[in-house]
């Protein structure tokens, strides 16, 4: 790269003060030379405020902002809205990145305008350690499930075009819905061939707290908001048993019990 456009890392934080400094250190160790870091405190009740303020005093490229507890989508949108960078990385306050993740992603995005998202191989650590086996990206698969963790890298302009993270997604999986919004109308995705992201697995992880009722609400919301995309890819609605949605819909069409989309 001949020039280095400003890059923004947005870190929503809710009661993650004990991890925040380690997360920030993984960003400041980045090989990319021009990064701003925006910490969005989502109404934390632990020491996140004190830790974030100390970090902001130590690093001139770190900005700290506070909001009343409103959830991760609002926190991410709040930070991205204030971001001055051309490219965005949402990074949860307990996760880590590798030094070369940002620089390699920006090289691709700067040279390939058709690419909308860059992500990488990932590893889990702490509560459960090991390689995070992510399925290859395709729009057909994205209609059924997510294979891009929330810390993918994208242009701020594309975030604006798709409307950002949906703040009505209060049950979880808001990252999945965001990738659908961003990619359903086109744009390529690149997965870097190295581990650049580290996902901390904790006992109280939001992923582990997914209940049947929350899953039903997520599926119903995605079916409603992205009906054209879901029906085109799955021949009908997304089902509770998501993996078999297309086969089930096709069978119902064959039996005359479901109209073709």
SS3 per residue for the chain: CCCCCCEEEEEEECCCHHHHHHHHHHHHCCCCCCEEEEEEEECCCCCHHHHHHHHHHHCCCEEEEEECCCCHHHHHHHHHHHCCCCEEEECCCCCEECCCHHHHHHHHHHHCCCEEEEEEEEEEEECCCEEECCCCCCHHHHCCCCCCCCCCEEEHHHHHHHCCCCCCCCCCCHHHHHHHHHHCCCCEEEEEEEEEEEEEECCCCCCCCCCHHHHHHHHHHHHHHCHHHHHHHHCCCCCCCHHHHHHHHHHHHHCCCCCCC
pLDDT exceeding 70 applies to what percent of the chain?
Answer: 97
Q: Give domain status of residue 250, yes or no.
A: no
Asked if residue 1 has pLDDT above 80, the reply is no
CATH assignment of the domain containing 152: 3.90.550.10
Instruction: Report in angstroms the alpha-carbon separations of 178 from 72, 91, 151, 174.
Output: 12, 15, 12, 6
Angle between helices 48-58 and 17-28 (to 10 degrees): 20
Rounded distance between C-alpha atoms, residue 256 and residue 66, angstroms? 54
Rounded distance between C-alpha atoms, residue 61 and residue 104, angstroms? 21
Name the residue range of residue 21's domain.
7-225
Give 233's strand partners. none
Q: Give domain status of residue 61, yes or no.
A: yes
Q: What is the pLDDT of residues 21-48, one digit of tens each?
A: 999 999 999 999 999 999 999 999 999 9
pLDDT of residue 57: 97
Q: Give domain status of residue 254, yes or no.
A: no
What mean pLDDT do residues 208-216 have?
Answer: 84
- 254: pLDDT confidence band, cut at 50, 70 and 90? confident
**Which tokens hold the place of 224?**
């409603």
The candidate with the shortest Cα–Cα distance to 84, out of 65, 105, 63, is: 63
Q: Give domain status of residue 259, yes or no.
A: no
Q: Give domain status of residue 235, yes or no.
A: no
Angle between helices 212-225 and 227-234 (to 10 degrees): 100
Strand 62-67 with 87-90, pairing? unpaired
Rounded distance between C-alpha atoms, residue 130 and residue 34, angstroms? 31
Q: Give domain status of residue 245, yes or no.
A: no
Number of domains in the chain: 1
Q: Give domain status of residue 213, yes or no.
A: yes
Q: Give domain status of residue 233, yes or no.
A: no
Query: Rounded mean pLDDT of the chain?
Result: 95
Judge contact between 93 and 23, C-beta under 8 A: yes
What mean pLDDT do residues 167-172 have?
Answer: 93
Q: What is the pLDDT of residues 60-108, one digit of tens each?
A: 999 999 999 999 999 999 999 999 999 999 999 999 999 999 999 999 9
Q: What is the pLDDT of residues 114-147, one digit of tens each?
A: 999 999 999 999 988 899 999 999 999 999 999 9
């Amino acid at each position: 790269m001949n020039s280095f456009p400003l890059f923004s890392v947005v870190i929503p934080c809710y009661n993650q003060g004990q991890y925040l400094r380690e997360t920030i250190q993984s960003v400041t160790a980045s090989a990319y030379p021009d990064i701003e870091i925006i910490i969005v405190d989502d109404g934390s009740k632990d020491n996140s405020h004190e830790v974030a303020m100390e970090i902001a005093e130590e690093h001139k490229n770190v900005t700290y902002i506070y909001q009343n507890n409103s959830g991760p989508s609002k926190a991410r949108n709040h930070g991205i809205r204030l971001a001055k960078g051309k490219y965005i990385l949402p990074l949860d306050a307990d996760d880590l990145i590798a030094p070369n993740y940002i620089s390699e992603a920006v090289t691709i995005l700067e040279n390939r305008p058709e690419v909308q998202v860059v992500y990488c191989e990932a590893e889990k650590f702490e509560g459960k350690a090991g390689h995070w086996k992510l399925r290859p990206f395709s729009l057909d698969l994205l209609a059924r499930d997510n294979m891009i963790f929330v810390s993918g890298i994208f242009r701020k302009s594309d975030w604006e075009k798709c409307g950002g993270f949906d703040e009505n997604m209060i049950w979880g999986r808001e990252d999945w819905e965001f990738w659908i919004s961003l990619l359903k109308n086109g744009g390529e995705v690149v997965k870097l061939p190295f581990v650049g992201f580290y996902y901390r697995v904790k006992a109280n992880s939001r992923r582990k707290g997914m209940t049947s009722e929350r899953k039903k609400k997520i599926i119903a919301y995605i079916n409603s908001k992205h009906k054209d995309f879901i029906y085109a890819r799955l021949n009908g609605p997304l089902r509770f048993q998501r993996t078999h949605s297309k086969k089930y819909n096709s069978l119902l069409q064959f039996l005359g019990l479901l109209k073709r989309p």
